[in-house]
């Protein structure tokens, strides 16, 4: 199992962040690049979660961040 991602720059930002609101259950995904632009690459995910605010339900600090591995596009395809 790869090392857990603790800050935005981990794993060369080669992942997708899933943000889940604990309050309303809304789930969305974002790229670490987007968050790093505002918060900086050295920001721990825990801080990111605290900073996230859902515009819909105004819940603050209720976001759960999960790093998802983004499947790399294959450079080759299996021959049929």
Report the run of H or E that residue 51 belongs to, with start and end: helix 45-51
Q: Residue 57 interacts with Zn ion (CB under 5 A)?
A: yes
Q: Which of 36, 49, 59, 65 binds Zn ion (CB under 5 A)?
A: 59
- Nearest of 17, 22, 5 to residue 63 by alpha carbon: 22
Q: Residue 49 interacts with Zn ion (CB under 5 A)?
A: no
Q: Which of 21, 35, 48, 63 binds Zn ion (CB under 5 A)?
A: 21
CA distance 16 to 48: 14
Q: Which part of the chain contacts Zn ion (CB under 5 A), choosing from 4-12, 22-30, 35-43, 45-53?
A: 22-30
């Amino acid at each position: 199992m790869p090392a857990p991602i603790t800050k935005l720059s981990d794993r060369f930002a080669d992942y997708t962040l899933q943000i889940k609101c604990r309050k309303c259950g809304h789930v969305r995904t974002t790229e670490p690049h987007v968050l790093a632009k505002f918060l900086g690459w050295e920001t721990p995910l825990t801080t990111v979660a605290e900073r996230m605010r859902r515009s819909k339900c105004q819940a603050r600090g209720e976001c759960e961040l999960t790093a998802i591995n983004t499947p790399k596009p294959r450079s080759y395809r299996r021959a049929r």
